[in-house]
Structure 1
Amino acid sequence: MKNHVVLTIGRQFGSGGHEIGNQVATRLNIPLYDKNLVRMAAEKLEISEDTAKEVDETTLNKFLATYLISPAEYVTYMSQEEYMPPLSDQMFEVQSGIIKDLADRGSCVIVGRCGDYVLKDNPNCLNVFIHGDKEDRVLRVAKLYKLTERKALDRMKKIDKQRETYYARYTGGSWGELGTHQIMLNSSKLGIEKTVDVLCDIYEGMKKRT
């Protein structure tokens, strides 16, 4: 029986979810997979990383939603049919395959990319959603991106809507709701460091039971 544990982290924009995932991975000395999944998928699909980023966790524009490609390597990720799905769908399927492979290899932290849904049948996977109070998130986004609070709020709403749309499109579930995640943590109430402590403690407990 494999004794590794995988943590998937969904997060509201500005909640510090990526920072939390990075600190957890560093403390536990396990790999973090986030934007590097886009690069891996781009290599599989034989497209540029910039093109891949355009359809990553975002609401798709008309051009990208109808852009079709047919690289030879992609046949391992799709059924043999004449119809080629949009690039966005191909990206999701390829990233899902990569996520499953990585989770099978060893312990890791996966941020976003519907990791909780992709690994829903993995008994050693813990699905976490990081959220935060609106005021706290606005201040974090404003500071991080050097924006006014008004612009930070607008950006926060836009990114969260994109993630919600992406999640609904590929999972049929509701992003950020308890029914689709095993643990919900409020980083505004706990703070970044305490949230990291909680996740590391849960991880160690799961390791002992596997």
Structure 2
Amino acid sequence: MTDHKIITIGRQFGSGGHEIGNLLATRLDIPMYDNNLVRMAADKLGIREETAQAVDETTLNSFLAGYVLAPLEYSPYTNSMECAQPLGEQMYDLQSEIIHKLAERGPCVIVGRCADYVLAKNPNCIHIFICADKEDRIRRIAKRYDVSERKAADKIKKIDRERRYYYESHTGQEWGSIESRQILLNVSRLGIERTVDVLEGMYKNW
């Protein structure tokens, strides 16, 4: 087991979790993995990235998720020689395998993709969940996508529901629960920069 440190970040949509992960990785001068995990898995499966995105963590009950590809080669993480799997399961298994390999390679920040569950047995991980007050999330999404606050609220509700389904269907644990995380941080109380300050200090002093 390697002794370098890994930070996993789960997040509510609109909480600033991706921005926090990116800023933290920049300050620590370590890589951050998020959507690039989808690209890596798509490359291994030999499918278009657009197809892989269609069964990512924010696509609840996608038709493509049930599409069956040929069995993958055996790996200690996927155990996928047994039978052909639906595309959604192959994507999850491949991303999990990639997460294990990245965690073995060196320190990094991993956002989403059930990384806290995938790396639950790794003692050198800090598992974080980022949340924020609903009003702040609505304002952030309305500004980011240039939509009304009503549409922003609808988008938040939809994507949070999809992330919850993705996480809970793959892990059997409650999304955002303290049971699977060491730390929950409310960005509305701390702000983006102070949240990154807290995580940076924790990383460097751990």
TM (normalized to structure 2)? 0.95
Q: Cα distance, 1:2 vs. partner?
A: 3.2
Q: Conserved in 2, the CA contact under 8 Å of 1:45 and 1:74?
A: no
Q: Conserved in 1, the CA contact under 8 Å of 2:38 and 2:95?
A: yes
Q: Give the structure 1 partner of residue 159 of structure 2.
A: 159
Q: Which runs of 5+ in 2 are unaligned?
A: none
1:44 aligns with 2:33: no
| TM alignment of 1:30-179, pairs within 5 A | 30-57=30-57, 58-61=59-62, 63-70=63-70, 74-76=73-75, 77-81=78-82, 83-179=83-179
| 1:75 alignment partner AA | Y
Matched residue of 1:75: which SS?
coil
Matched residue of 1:127: which SS?
strand
Q: Cα distance, 1:75 vs. partner?
A: 3.3
**Equivalent residues, number:** 203
Which one has the bigger helix percentage? 1
1:190 aligns with 2:167: no
Q: Conserved in 2, the CA contact under 8 Å of 1:68 and 1:86?
A: yes
Q: Conserved in 2, the CA contact under 8 Å of 1:142 and 1:152?
A: yes
Q: Cα distance, 1:3 vs. partner?
A: 3.4
Give the CA RMSD over aligned residues: 1.2
Q: Which runs of 5+ in 1 are unaligned?
A: none
The whole-number CA distance in structure 1 between the counterparts of 2:137 and 2:6 is: 26
The Cα offsets for residues 125-147 of structure 1, whole Å up to 9 and x where unpaired, read as 00000000000000000000001
TM (normalized to structure 1)? 0.93
Matched residue of 2:13: which SS?
coil
Q: Give the structure 1 partner of residue 12 of structure 2.
A: 12
Q: Conserved in 1, the CA contact under 8 Å of 2:69 and 2:87?
A: yes
The whole-number CA distance in structure 2 between the counterparts of 1:88 and 1:74 is: 16
Q: Conserved in 2, the CA contact under 8 Å of 1:44 and 1:74?
A: no
Which runs of at least 4 in structure 1 moved beyond 2 Å after TM superposition?
Answer: 73-81
How much identity, in percent, do the aligned residues show?
58
| 2:37 alignment partner AA | L
Matched residue of 2:204: which SS?
helix
